[in-house]
Structure 1
Amino acid sequence: SEEMEIVVNVGGVRQVFYGDNLNQYPETRLAELVNCLSGGYDSIFSLCDDYDPGKREFYFDRDPDAFKCIIDVYYFGEIHMKKGICPICFKNEMEFWKVDLKFLDDCCKAHLSEKKEELEEIARRVQLILDDLGVDASESRWKRCQKCIWKFLEKPESSYPARVIAVLSFLFILISSVVMCVGTIPDLQVVDAEGNRMEHPTLDSIETACIGWFTMEYVLRLISSPNKLHFALSFMNIVDVLAILPFYVSLTLTHLGAKLMELSNVQQAVQALRIMRIARIFKLARHSSGLQTLTYALKRSFKELGLLLMYLAVGIFVFSALGYTMEQSHPETLFKSIPQSFWWAIITMTTVGYGDIYPKTTLGKLNAAISFLCGVIAIALPIHPIINNFVRYYNKQRVLETAAKHELELMELNSAEGKATGSRNELEDFSREGKDGPFYSSRIKVSHSDTFIHLLSEEKHYRTRLQSCK
Structure 2
Amino acid sequence: MWTLPKPKYRTGLCAEGEIAVNIGGVRVVLFGDVLNRYPESRLAELLNCSTQNYEVITSLCDDFDPGRKEFYFDRDPDAFKCIIDVYYFDEIHIKRGICPICFIKEMEFWKIDQSVLDECCRSYLSEKEDELKEIANKVKVILEDLEVDQCFTRSQRCQRFLWKLMEKPGSSLPARIIAIASFLSVLVSAVVMCMGTIPELQVADTEGKLVEHPALEAIETVCMSWFTAEYLLRLASSPNKLHFALSFMNIIDFMAIMPFYVVLSLTYLGTTSMMELGNVQQAVQALRIMRIARIFKLARHSSGLQTLTYALKKSLKELGLLLMYMGVGIFVFSALAYTMEQSHPETLFRSIPQSFWWAIITMTTVGYGDIYPKTTLGKCNAAVSFLCGVIAIALPIHPIINNFVVFYNKQKVLETAAKHEVELMELKSDQHQCGGFIDSIILRNVLNWKIIYIS
TM-score by length of 1: 0.87
Contact 1:232/1:238 (CA < 8 Å) preserved in 2? yes
Q: What is the alpha-carbon distance in structure 2 between the residues aligned to residue 407 and residue 452 of structure 1?
A: 14
CA distance in 2, matches of 1:450, 1:70: 26
Determine helix, strand or coil for the equivalent of 1:333: coil
Q: Which moved more, 1:238-247 or 1:50-59?
A: 50-59
Q: What letter corresponds to residue 171 of structure 1 in structure 2?
A: L
Aligned-partner residue type, residue 315 of structure 1: G
Q: Is 1:170 equivalent to 2:183 in the alignment?
A: yes
Taking a change above 3 Å as real, the CA distance of residues 21 and 412 of structure 1, as seen in their structure-2 partners, is farther
Matched residue, 1:19: 32
Partner residue in 1 for 2:288: 274
Mapping of residues 56-205 of structure 1, within 5 Å = 56-205=69-218
**1:393 paired residue number:** 407
Determine helix, strand or coil for the equivalent of 2:111. coil
Which residue number corresponds to residue 334 of structure 2? 320
Aligned to 1:256: 269
Quote the Cα distance in structure 2 between the aligned partners of 1:375 and 1:321: 16
Q: What is the percentage of aligned positions where both structures have the same residue?
A: 70
Q: Return the letter of the residue paired with 2:402.
A: N
- Asked if 1:335 is matched to 2:330, the reply is no
Is this contact kept in 2: 1:407–1:449, CA < 8 A?
A: no
Query: Which amino acid is 2:106 matched to?
Result: E
- Per mean C-alpha deviation after superposition, the further-off stretch among 401-410 and 224-233 is 401-410
Distance change in 2, residues 1:300/1:72 (3 Å): same
The question of 1:451 aligning with 2:446 is answered yes
How far apart are the structure 1 equivalents of 2:216 and 2:174? Answer: 28
Secondary structure in 2 aligned to 1:157?
coil
Offset, 1:444: 7.1
1:304 Cα deviation from its structure 2 partner? 0.6
Task: For residue 401 of structure 1, report the CA deviation from its aligned partner.
Answer: 3.0
The equivalent of 1:243 in structure 2 is 256
How far apart are residue 400 of structure 1 and its match?
2.8
Superposition deviation, residue 450 in structure 1: 6.0
CA RMSD of the aligned region, Å?
2.5
Following superposition, the deviation at residue 448 of structure 1 comes to: 6.6
State the partner residue of 1:354.
368
Equivalent residue, structure 2, for 1:219: 232
Tell me: CA distance 1:382–1:94, structure 2 relative to 1, closer, same or farther (3 Å). same
Instruction: Determine if contact 1:10/1:60 at 8 Å carries over to the other structure.
Output: yes
1:231 alignment counterpart: 244
Tell me if structure 1 keeps the 8 A contact 2:266–2:275: no
What residue in structure 1 maps to residue 19 of structure 2?
6
1:291 is matched with: 305
Contact 1:156 1:162 in 2 (8 A): yes
Q: Residues 284 and 176 from structure 1, CA distance in 2 versus in 1: closer, same or farther, beyond 3 angstroms?
A: same
Q: What do residues 327-357 of structure 1 show as CA deviations (whole Å, max 9, x unaligned)? A: 1111111111110010011001111011111
1:33 aligns with 2:28: no
Counterparts of 1:303 and 1:375 in 2: how far apart (Å)?
A: 18
Deviates more, 1:386-395 or 1:40-49: 40-49
Output the amino acid matched with 2:204: V
User: Structure 1 pair 218/394, CA: closer, same or farther in 2 (3 Å)?
Assistant: same
1:67-88 residue CA offsets vs partner (Å, 9 max, x unmatched): 0000001111111010111112
1:146 CA drift (Å):
1.8
Give 1:373-388 correspondences, 5 Å limit.
373-388=387-402
Gapped runs of 5+ residues in structure 2? 1-14
Deviations 1:144-199 (A, max 9, x none): 22222112101112111111111110110011011111121222222223221111
Native 8 Å contact 2:202 2:212 kept in 1? yes
Which residue is equivalent to 2:55? 42
What SS does the corresponding residue of 2:357 show, helix, strand or coil?
helix
SS of the equivalent of 2:446 reads: coil
The one of the two structures with greater contact order (alpha-carbon pairs below 8 A, sep at least 6) is 1
| TM-score (normalizing by structure 2) | 0.90
* Whole-Å separation in 1 of the counterparts to 2:296 and 2:332: 37
Change (3 A) 1:447 1:370: closer
Letter of the aligned partner of 1:345 in structure 2? Answer: A
Question: Displacement, 1:307?
Answer: 0.8
The offset of 1:136, in angstroms, is 4.4
Inter-CA distance 153–350: structure 2 relative to 1 (3 Å threshold): same
After superposing the two structures, state which structure 1 stretch, 315-324 or 104-113, moved more: 104-113
The alpha-carbon deviation at position 411 of structure 1 amounts to 5.8
Whether the 8 Å contact between 2:373 and 2:379 is mirrored in structure 1 is: yes
| CA offsets 1:225-280 (integer angstroms, 9 cap, x no match) | 22222211111111011111111111111123343425363543322221111000
Letter in 1 for 2:177: V
TM-superposed deviation, 1:358: 0.9
2:330 touches 2:363 (CA, 8 Å); kept in 1?
A: yes
The answer as to whether partners of 1:123 and 1:453 remain within 8 angstroms in 2 is: no
Query: Compared with structure 1, are the counterparts of its residues 220 and 260 closer, same or farther at alpha carbon in structure 2 (3 Å cutoff)?
Result: farther
